[in-house]
Amino acid sequence: MTSLLKNIIRFVLFILVQVYIFNKVPPIHQFVKPYIYFLFILWLPFNIGRPGLMLLAFIFGLTFDYFSGTPGLHTVPCVFIAYLRPFLLNLLIPQDTIQLSFAEPSAKSMGWASYATYILILTFLHIALLVFIEWMEFGDFFYFIGKVTATTALSLVLIFIAEMLFPRQGKYRTNAAA
């Protein structure tokens, strides 16, 4: 399966799963909301340029927003993590060798510690910005802190489960493709 086809399928699946499964889960508490859709952006291949990455995140966020009926709300954090992703990847993996020999970020290609840091930071930033935009509308500081903490924790658990359920082979890229 080519990388393009794989990512198109992921695009559709992540939106459908988020909209029709996780958004339908009855809320346990107002702070707890399961989010996993942004994993699509975290799993995008290394070799997409930064403008491409941001445009993809923009389209992905907007599509998701039209399904969930909140145009723009999730798009801003999506573009934000797409913008920060290359910085973070450069920090976490200083040698270019990994980016050249592996297709996309995963525990196998980056090592558990780096990959966990990568997921943790971007998840936290994504949800913090998302809740911050909500907070600008409704304004309650306790709500902001509580929701960021609880929702980030739940998202991390979901991402961990997703990693366990769908192990991705850290495929070596051939030199011809690079």
Partner 1 sequence: MRNIIAFIRHFFNLFLFLILTGISLGILINYNQTYNVVFSNIASEATGKVGAQYNSVEYYFKLKKTNEDLAAENAELRGLLRSSFESPDTSTVIKIDSLLKDTLGRVRKFLFLPAKVVNNDVSDQNNYITLYRGSKQGVIKDMGVIGPQGIIGKVIDTSKNYCRVMSVLNRNSKVSAMTKKGFYTGLVDWDGKDPRYVTMHNVPKSAKVKIGDSIITSNLSGNYPPGIMIGTIAAIGGDPASGFYDLKVKTATDFYNIQYAYLVDNMIWAEQKDLEAKTLKQ
CA dist list (Å): 21 to 38, 68, 78, 100, 144: 15, 12, 20, 36, 25
Q: Which of 9, 66, 120, 160 binds partner 1 (CB under 8 A)?
A: 66
**Cβ proximity to partner 1, 113 vs 140, nearer residue:** 140
DSSP characters over 132-174: HHHHHHH--HHHHHHHHHHHHHHHHHHHHHHHHHSPPP-PBPP
**Cβ proximity to partner 1, 124 vs 143, nearer residue:** 143
Asked if 101 interacts with partner 1 (CB under 8 A), we say: no
Q: Which of 10, 47, 55, 149 binds partner 1 (CB under 8 A)?
A: 55
Asked if 127 interacts with partner 1 (CB under 8 A), we say: no
**Closest distance to partner 1 from the beta carbon of 38 (Å):** 14
Q: Which of 17, 58, 168, 171 binds partner 1 (CB under 8 A)?
A: 58
